Amino acid sequence: MSRKLPASQAVEPEGVTASAEDLLSILDSLDAAVYASDMQTHELLFLNAYGRQTWGAPRGRKCWEVLQEGQSGPCDFCTNDRLLDAQGRPGAPVVWEFQNTQNGRWYQCRDQAIAWHDGRLVRVEIATDITERKALEDALKASHRHAEWLAYRDELTQLLNRRAFFAACQERLATLDPEAPFALLLIDLDRFKLVNDTHGHAAGDRVLREVAKRFQARLRDGDILCRFGGEEFALALPGTSQAAASELAERLRRALSAQPMNYGEASFRVTASFGVVAAASGEADLGMLLQRADQAMYRAKREGRDRVCDSP
Ligand SMILES: Nc1nc2c(ncn2[C@@H]2O[C@H](COP(=O)(O)OP(=O)(O)OP(=O)(O)O)[C@@H](O)[C@H]2O)c(=O)[nH]1
């Protein structure tokens, strides 16, 4: 502590009697850092026991030399300017949160300008360690972000889920030129039950993940792929014509059928049936497009599977 108030400066507001020693003892017992620094020279005039234990004794140094790391002058985040009113008199307190540059801990700081006993203005800060609360808040935010992510994702393939697919398509349709085409593919794996029955459900899960990976590797930014349900995928291609969508469907079909999938010792070929439809964005009704793509996909099933069928 740099300076001790004489006991004669005891205060007795409204029947309360406390000597300067009493006040210092109170300040030194607080579970928070309290300091006062000259608002012009930045000299640290007072630092309570909590602050001295954390940052060391002031010994006539400036606040930024004692409390912060690597400062060669007043801190960018100094609150001095915010503590005075337009006439340069002490204004309302400023409460802020800050990660200390010396020890990396988070503090909630309550800063206030007051007139020191000799008339100069000083900044008084009360800083409470909120590191644990911050960590909890960060964990909560992360888990909220994760929950939000999960709400829009299919857990197995990490693709968008059906709900997110509809939302993404509507959002894209709203911004597309009404004349621009909007294509939609429905893709259903062939005889997938057989994969589960022959190689087990875990193998089926692996296949679904691998299918998602192979499809994704062949798409562009802006294409919207989702796991529509079970062993069915939907793919929206904003700005893509029916002919171009059919060509892409053909490439996706080959991406499955041309390269067998391996699971343990087993190696097997996975194929899918594709239904393709397109409309001008301005006339695209998602429900109707899905229905037409579904009909085309079932035609592909009926005609022998492992093929692409266009909706008329
Ligand atoms: N492993 C696994 N299987 C799934 C999942 N979702 C759906 N299935 C299986 O997918 C299979 C779909 O079977 P079906 O609807 O009979 O169709 P299919 O055997 O693919 O035959 P076609 O569609 O007619 O070619 C069922 O056995 C479901 O249990 C999943 O998340 N994991």
Q: Which residues are CB-neighbours of 275 under 8 A, at least 6 positions away? A: 185, 186, 187, 292, 293, 294, 295, 296, 297, 298, 299, 300, 309, 311
Q: Are residues 116 and 158 in the same domain?
A: no
Do 90 and 112 meet the contact criterion of CB atoms below 8 Å apart?
A: yes
Is 80 in the same domain as 187?
Answer: no
pTM: 0.66
Q: How many other CB atoms sit within 10 Å of the CB of residue 257? A: 15
In tens, the pLDDT along 4-45 reads 445 445 566 777 788 889 999 999 999 999 999 999 999 999
Ligand 1 pocket mutation pick from 155, 158, 231 by most atoms within 8 angstroms of CB = 231
* Average pLDDT for 127-153: 94
142 assigned to some structural domain: no
Task: Note the residue count of the chain.
Answer: 312
Does residue 24 sit in the same domain as residue 92? Answer: yes
Q: What is the pLDDT of residues 72-89, one digit of tens each?
A: 999 999 999 999 999 999
Could you list the residue range(s) of the whole structural domain that residue 167 is in? 152-310
306 ligand 1 Cβ < 6 A? no
Domain boundary among 105, 133, 161: 133
191 lines ligand 1 (CB under 6 A): yes
> Which of 155, 157, 187, 196 to mutate to test ligand 1, by most ligand atoms within 8 A of the CB atom?
196
Whether 139 is covered by a domain: the verdict is no
Same domain, yes or no, for 304 and 182? Answer: yes
Residue nearest to atom 26 of ligand 1 (CA): 193
Closest residue by CA, ligand 1 atom 13: 193
CA of 215 to the centre of ligand 1 (A): 18
Same structural domain, 33 and 104: yes
| Predicted complex ipTM | 0.96
For residues 168 and 128, membership in a common domain is answered with: no
Query: Residue 175 belongs to a domain with what CATH number?
Result: 3.30.70.270
Cα diameter, the chain: 103
Q: Mean pLDDT score of the chain, rounded to an integer?
A: 93
Residue 146 maps to a domain: no
List residues with catalytic annotation: 231
Q: Is residue 144 part of a domain?
A: no
Residues 192 and 236 in one domain: yes
- Going by pLDDT thresholds of 50, 70 and 90, the confidence category of residue 3 is very low
pLDDT in tens, 188-202: 999 999 999 999 999
Q: Using alpha carbons, list the distances in angstroms from residue 119 to 38, 78, 89, 90.
A: 11, 21, 12, 12
CA of 220 to the centre of ligand 1 (A): 28
Q: How many domains does the chain have?
A: 2
CA of 193 to the centre of ligand 1 (A): 5
The answer on pLDDT for 181 being more than 90 is yes
Check whether residue 53 and residue 177 sit in a common domain. no
Long-range Cβ pairs for the range 128-135 (8 Å, 24+): 128/31, 128/32, 129/32, 129/105, 130/97, 130/106, 131/105, 131/106, 133/106, 134/97, 134/106
Measured in Å, residue 230 CA sits from the centre of ligand 1 at 6
- For residue 267, report the phi and psi dihedrals to the nearest 5 degrees: -135, 125
Both 116 and 175 in one domain: the answer is no
Q: Which residues pair with 35 in a beta bridge?
A: 47, 125
